Structure 1
Amino acid sequence: MTANTQPVKKDSILILDIDGTLTDSIAMHQEALLGAMQTLMLEHLNTDWGSYPHHTDTGIFAHAMKEHGRTGISPDQMASFERDLGSRFSVLLAERGLREITGARTFVKAMETTRWGVVFATGGIRSVSRQKLHAVAIDFVEEALLTSSEHAARDDLVKAARVRAMHLYDMDKPRAVVSVGDGLWDMRVASALGLGFVGIGSPDSASGRALRTQGATVVDDLGDVIRCLESS
């Protein structure tokens, strides 16, 4: 299957986060990231990942290195970091397996027969993001996956996802663009770029409460996203 051979003409874009939105992978990813960052031997490593200017793997790596006087990161250094992170995540995945967020695979599959063209935009690196989607059997094409391996800043990542979707689904001017995610950064980027946003999070989860406090539309079941999209 390719993204531009869909049975239904696509006129709108759906940008999907992965961690916490499609896969229950946040804790596993953060464990792998911590291990990869600790090998850098940075004396005062800030492990509050959410406090970094760019909440992405490569954004965190670059900022932490700069804060410790290690500027001018080479492609080889970045590649080494990504290999280490990918390897650590692979080990954890093999040990523990990975669950989808309830209904994720069915939801993504259902989008194939709608007017919504799906792309994935995630703060994880490409190798790890591939592993997550494969682990829960979510079908995707490489061109529809945008990661921090290509864009360290989340706003650049989401902007690139929009442009990629327009190309993949042959849209001159999308009727609507909606981002779906579980974090405040997902909501803030969507707002800054003038996109629609639907949050994922149960009423008793910290992320769900935070999004609701900020006035976001939040659902605790991916099936409910479809009803939100119908009004877009």
Structure 2
Amino acid sequence: MTKKNLIVLDIDDTLTKSEDKHTDSLLFAMKHFGITEVNTDWKTYKNATDSYIFSVNYEKTHQKKFDFGFIPEFEKVMTEHFLSYPDTPEIEGAQKMVDFFINETNYGVCFATGSILQPAFLKLQQANINLIPQVLEASNTIFTREDIVKSAIEKAKNYYHTSNFENIISFGDGLWDVTTAKNLDIHFVGVNDKNISDFKKMNIKHHISNWTQFNLNDTEKKLGIK
């Protein structure tokens, strides 16, 4: 099915209530690699992605170069720890809204997350979010948020059989999501209230506390699409 426009979706605390157990699983996997002292102020990192945070702390701890070959074992340990938690709930209204985009609008969807891949799949599956694996990009082989989003968009072009989307709207809960959207010159909508002060500082045009507040026509008007 061809789509004229595209929705780019972050996952943790945008679609699923998963940030805390994600963080715990990330730290658990780093401990498996002998990393016990970790700066958890993610805003201080150049790239807020699991692979980059792992790489920085690996090199700091072991004083040797990080290798992406570590990722499969890291992913396995992180995923197993993530599974020790109860199932992940959705952010209110997320499941219904993703279905709405896919089935009732001219917007396709793709998923762009700083998470490692398998925990990202689990969050969406546990929350019963309509997952299209072909359009999900994670940080297994990519450090930067910008490259993750660009890769997700390219996957969406292939999936929806188009060379270009007329409008792209990114949805996210964090400062890095706003920054990435601005760097890529795409529209942005803030989700969740936990970083609302950052959203205000960045002068975003639209924000929702959860997906029950979302209205497509209202959003398009606020973003200047209509």
Tell me which residue corresponds to 2:197.
Answer: 209
Paired letter, 2:146: D
- Work out whether residues 98 and 135 of structure 1, in 8 Å CA contact, stay in contact via their aligned partners in 2: yes
Q: Is the alpha carbon distance of 1:66 and 1:167 closer, same or farther for their aligned partners in structure 2, counting shifts above 3 Å?
A: same
- Work out whether residues 55 and 66 of structure 2, in 8 Å CA contact, stay in contact via their aligned partners in 1: no
Distance in 1, Cα, partners of 2:87 & 2:72? 25
Alignment partner of 1:99 is 2:89: yes
Could you list the runs of 5+ residues in structure 1 that have no partner in the other structure?
Answer: none
Give CA-to-partner distance per residue, 1:112-153, whole Å, 9 cap, x none.
221101000011111101100000111122111111124221
Distance in 1, Cα, partners of 2:35 & 2:127? 34
Instruction: Specify the SS of the correspondent of 2:165.
Output: coil
Alignment partner of 1:64 is 2:54: no
How much has 1:162 moved relative to structure 2?
1.4
Alignment partner of 1:133 is 2:127: no
How much has 1:167 moved relative to structure 2?
1.4
How much has 1:181 moved relative to structure 2?
0.3
Distance in 1, Cα, partners of 2:66 & 2:142? 17
Paired letter, 2:142: H
Give CA-to-partner distance per residue, 1:7-44, whole Å, 9 cap, x none.
xx411111000001100100111111111112222364
Q: Is the alpha carbon distance of 1:165 and 1:31 closer, same or farther for their aligned partners in structure 2, counting shifts above 3 Å?
A: same
- Work out whether residues 180 and 198 of structure 1, in 8 Å CA contact, stay in contact via their aligned partners in 2: yes
Alignment partner of 1:39 is 2:32: yes
Could you list the runs of 5+ residues in structure 2 that have no partner in the other structure?
Answer: none
Alignment partner of 1:162 is 2:153: yes
TM-score, scaled to structure 1: 0.88
Paired letter, 1:219: I
Instruction: Specify the SS of the correspondent of 1:88.
Output: helix
Paired letter, 1:213: K
TM-score, scaled to structure 2: 0.90
- Tell which deviates more after alignment, 217-226 or 159-168: 217-226
After TM superposition, the structure 1 = structure 2 runs for residues 188-199 of structure 1, keeping only pairs within 5 Å, are 188-199=179-190
Tell me which residue corresponds to 1:219.
Answer: 208
Instruction: Specify the SS of the correspondent of 1:199.
Output: strand
- Tell which deviates more after alignment, 134-143 or 49-58: 49-58
Tell me which residue corresponds to 1:149.
Answer: 140
Paired letter, 2:196: G
Q: Is the alpha carbon distance of 1:19 and 1:228 closer, same or farther for their aligned partners in structure 2, counting shifts above 3 Å?
A: same
Tell me which residue corresponds to 1:11.
Answer: 4
Instruction: Specify the SS of the correspondent of 1:38.
Output: helix
- Work out whether residues 55 and 153 of structure 1, in 8 Å CA contact, stay in contact via their aligned partners in 2: yes
Q: Is the alpha carbon distance of 1:137 and 1:175 closer, same or farther for their aligned partners in structure 2, counting shifts above 3 Å?
A: same
Alignment partner of 1:175 is 2:163: no
**Identity value in percent:** 29
- Work out whether residues 34 and 47 of structure 1, in 8 Å CA contact, stay in contact via their aligned partners in 2: no
Tell me which residue corresponds to 1:109.
Answer: 99
Paired letter, 2:209: D
Instruction: Return the match for 1:21 from 14, 37, 45.
Output: 14
How much has 1:78 moved relative to structure 2?
1.9
Tell me which residue corresponds to 2:43.
Answer: 50
